[in-house]
Amino acid sequence: MSQGFGHELPSRHNQQEHRPVSRYLIVIASSGGQVAKLFVETREQVGEFDASTEEVAVMTRNAAASSGATGAEWDKALAGHSAQERAEAMVYQLDV
């Protein structure tokens, strides 16, 4: 009858560095409908999901919003979207 005695202990957990906090949420039109995209301060995309979810409503409740993501700072991040989609996008700044 083995009780597990003599088994090797698991190795220590190596803490990975956490990603930076999301600073921007963009709600933008896509071929399948509205999508919400999360970006960090450097405008690197870290998430994308359906904009009709409850999470989007919660995140945007107290967030400052501006209309349009046509600035040069968004060129690389939103390269797959048309100029019209970018102009109609809503940009929310999170946790200012």
Alpha-carbon distance values, 48 to 1, 8, 37, 55, 81 (Å): 51, 41, 4, 12, 14
Question: Can you tell me the distance from the alpha carbon of 35 to that of 83, in angstroms, rounded to the nearest whole number?
Answer: 16
Query: Is the separation of the CB atoms in 85 and 28 below 8 Å?
Result: yes
* Tokens representing residue 84 in the block: 């019209």
| pLDDT tens digits, 75-87 | 999 999 999 999 9
Whole-number pLDDT of residue 31: 84
Percentage of residues of the chain with pLDDT beyond 90:
65
- What length does the chain have? 96
> The pTM is what?
0.78
| pLDDT tens digits, 35-57 | 999 999 999 999 999 999 999 99
